């Protein structure tokens, strides 16, 4: 291991204890290493602006930080147990390449605000990806709500046949749910969009750090002003992001449940694209919906991450090393969650209905509610109408299409208002793009190039999350 940043003469370092303290840090810190580098550049710029670094020193640091990022991406630099953590690795490399300029970069910062800012930037990127996948899933569901509007199917409550519903209504529900999830991702992203860099160990420093500059340069919406608040937000912001992810995952879990029921022979409503199914090692006849079950099961990783972080936060204010544990939980939860969600748009696009089986599952009892409401509409008090319509003698097979067409309460099959959902979906996307494109953001971000870089990063991440998800299926 390279020399420990904090090592003092006369205090022996025990390898086993060091291994315990470092934990999986060098592996975990790979996850946000590029964000740590980006924040280090902004910090160095800030130091130059207040005279701690000379212009040439800053130029050298920026050059070497870019080179380190490139080497990390290409695999020429590996963050491994030669270092205590990612933060030490950055400083060690800069010092090795630049001497004193490298030794100056940590002026006025602590690993406590360094890990906070790197995690915060990482979270903002992940929430942008969450927003994008939720929108994409909503878009597919909405398209299919329009296309499959005329397909009748049973509507269930308590898993018992209840009333006639339609594939269109089923789809519209998921469309709206995923629009809400996208909006929640966007709003959570705005909620955590605060720059902790410059809070140092949690109490500020005796330097007039240019925090306005680092806030703008890193594209944050605001500064996390109080140095003591910065540490209070560690874990709390991670939890908020996991909750936003959890709400999309909750919808995914219920949707996966529907599909696993609907693909069973007992229902037979849905045919999954073959690529989402697997065979059995012993039963030659089987095609199993494993991908759907793993999507459903991924919820557990997100819930576990939330629980683990929440348990950690039983702490007094200020930094505590316990907080390090939050990283593994966060990366695992987001890794599993986004990977599962990324499959969803393609799955939804390709799944096929079996309209005959859906129609065959409608029975005369499912028009009893229509009948009761019809009688009430003619003037009978609803409770009397209900009693009459409860009599099986009065149940008759009817035309399901007519039942659906008469369901004119807003949001039901006769008045689904898909155009309203379409507007909300468009607005949910536009707003995030607008954040990136506004002149103020451009100004804050320093240049249009930085804006373009961020957007390219999101798009790359979205594609890689989707590619790795598809590899699994």
Candidate segments 203-211, 240-248, 271-279, 315-323, binder of ligand ARG by CB under 6 A? 315-323
Helix then strand count (H, E) for the chain reads 20, 6
**Residue with the two structure tokens 């039901």:** 412
Strands (E), 264-419: 270-271, 352-353
Candidate segments 222-230, 301-309, 317-325, 349-357, binder of ligand ARG by CB under 6 A? 317-325
Candidate segments 321-329, 337-345, 414-422, 465-473, binder of ligand ARG by CB under 6 A? 321-329
Q: Of 115, 197, 223, 404, which lies in the binding site for ligand ARG, with binding defined by CB under 6 A?
A: 115
Q: Of 38, 117, 323, 389, which lies in the binding site for ligand ARG, with binding defined by CB under 6 A?
A: 323
Instruction: Please tell me what DSSP assigns to residue 288.
Output: B
Q: How many CA atoms lie within 13 A of 20 on its CB side?
A: 6
In the complex, the smallest distance separating the C-beta of residue 323 from ligand ARG, rounded to whole angstroms, is 5
C-alpha distances (whole Å) from 120 to each of 46, 147, 291 are 19, 40, 31
Residue 25 interacts with ligand ARG (CB under 6 A)?
Answer: yes
Closest Cα to residue 174, out of 382, 425, 406? 425
Q: Nearer to ligand ARG by C-beta: 186 or 234?
A: 234
Measured distance CA(193)–CA(181) in Å, rounded? 18
Q: Could you tell me which residues are beta bridge partners of residue 246?
A: none
In the complex, the smallest distance separating the C-beta of residue 38 from ligand ARG, rounded to whole angstroms, is 17
Residue 237 interacts with ligand ARG (CB under 6 A)?
Answer: no
Considering the candidates 226, 264, 280, 317, report the single residue annotated as catalytic.
280
Considering the candidates 43, 74, 106, 158, report the single residue annotated as catalytic.
158
For 29-53, the DSSP string reads HHHTHHHHHHHHHHHHHHHHHTTSS
Candidate segments 34-42, 110-118, 121-129, 191-199, binder of ligand ARG by CB under 6 A? 110-118
Measured distance CA(342)–CA(134) in Å, rounded? 9
| 233 annotated active-site | no
| 106 annotated active-site | no
Cβ atoms of 188 and 243 within 8 Å: the answer is: yes
Closest Cα to residue 55, out of 101, 90, 96? 101
Q: Nearer to ligand ARG by C-beta: 234 or 253?
A: 234
Cβ atoms of 299 and 249 within 8 Å: the answer is: yes
236-262 and 111-147 are packed helices; what angle lies between their axes, rounded to 10 degrees? Answer: 30
In the complex, the smallest distance separating the C-beta of residue 129 from ligand ARG, rounded to whole angstroms, is 22
Residue 33 interacts with ligand ARG (CB under 6 A)?
Answer: no
Q: Nearer to ligand ARG by C-beta: 123 or 435?
A: 123
Cβ atoms of 127 and 171 within 8 Å: the answer is: no
In the complex, the smallest distance separating the C-beta of residue 28 from ligand ARG, rounded to whole angstroms, is 8
Measured distance CA(339)–CA(97) in Å, rounded? 38
With CB under 6 A as the rule, give the number of residues binding ligand ARG.
10
Q: Nearer to ligand ARG by C-beta: 112 or 263?
A: 112
Residue 383 interacts with ligand ARG (CB under 6 A)?
Answer: no
Residue 324 interacts with ligand ARG (CB under 6 A)?
Answer: yes
Measured distance CA(133)–CA(139) in Å, rounded? 10
Q: Of 45, 57, 85, 346, which lies in the binding site for ligand ARG, with binding defined by CB under 6 A?
A: 85
Q: Nearer to ligand ARG by C-beta: 85 or 346?
A: 85
Which residues are part of the catalytic machinery? Answer: 158, 280
Positions in the binding site for ligand ARG (CB under 6 A): 25, 85, 111-112, 115, 319, 321, 323-324, 327
């Amino acid at each position: 291991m390279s020399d420990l940043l904090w090592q003092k003469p006369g205090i022996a370092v025990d390898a086993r204890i060091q291994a315990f303290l470092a934990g999986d840090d060098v592996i975990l810190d790979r996850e946000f290493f590029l964000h740590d580098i980006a924040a280090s550049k902004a910090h160095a710029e800030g130091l130059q602006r207040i005279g701690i670094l000379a212009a040439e020193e800053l130029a050298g640091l920026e050059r070497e930080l870019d080179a380190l990022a490139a080497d990390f991406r290409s695999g020429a630099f590996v963050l491994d147990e030669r270092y205590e953590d990612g933060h030490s690795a950055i400083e060690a490399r800069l010092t090795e390449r630049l001497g004193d300029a490298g030794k100056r970069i940590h002026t006025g910062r602590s690993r406590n605000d360094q890990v906070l800012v790197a995690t915060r930037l990482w979270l903002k990127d992940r929430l942008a990806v969450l927003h994008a996948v939720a929108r994409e899933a909503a878009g597919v569901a909405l398209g299919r709500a329009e296309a499959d509007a005329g397909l009748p199917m049973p509507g269930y409550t308590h898993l018992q046949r209840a009333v006639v519903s339609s594939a269109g209504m089923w789809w519209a529900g998921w469309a709206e749910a995923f629009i809400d999830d996208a909006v929640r991702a966007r709003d959570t992203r705005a909620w955590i969009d605060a720059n902790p860099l410059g809070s140092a160990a949690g109490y500020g420093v005796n330097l007039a750090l240019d925090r306005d500059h680092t806030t703008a340069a890193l594209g944050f919406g605001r500064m996390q002003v109080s140095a003591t608040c910065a540490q209070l937000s560690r874990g709390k912001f991670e939890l908020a992001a996991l909750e936003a992810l959890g709400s999309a995952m909750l919808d995914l879990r219920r949707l996966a449940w529907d599909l696993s029921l609907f693909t069973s022979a007992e229902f037979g409503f849905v045919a999954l694209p073959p690529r989402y199914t697997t065979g059995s090692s012993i039963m030659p006849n089987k095609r199993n919906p494993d991908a759907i079950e793993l999507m459903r099961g991924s919820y557990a990783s997100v819930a576990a991450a939330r629980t683990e972080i929440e348990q950690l936060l039983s702490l007094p204010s200020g930094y505590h090393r316990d907080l390090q544990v939050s990283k593994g939980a966060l990366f695992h939860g987001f890794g599993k969650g986004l990977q599962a969600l990324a499959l969803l748009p393609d799955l939804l696009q390709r799944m096929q209905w079996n309209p005959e089986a859906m129609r065959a599952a409608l029975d005369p009892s499912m028009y009893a509610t229509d009948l009761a409401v019809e009688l009430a509409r003619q003037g009978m008090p609803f409770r009397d109408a209900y009693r009459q319509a409860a009599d099986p003698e009065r149940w008759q097979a009817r035309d399901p299409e007519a039942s659906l067409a008469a369901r004119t309460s807003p949001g039901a099959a006769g008045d689904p208002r898909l155009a309203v959902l379409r507007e909300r979906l468009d607005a949910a996307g536009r707003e995030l793009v607008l954040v990136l494109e506004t002149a103020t953001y451009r100004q804050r971000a320093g240049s249009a190039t930085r804006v373009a870089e961020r957007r390219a990063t999101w798009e790359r991440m979205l594609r890689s999350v989707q590619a790795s998800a598809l590899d699994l299926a």
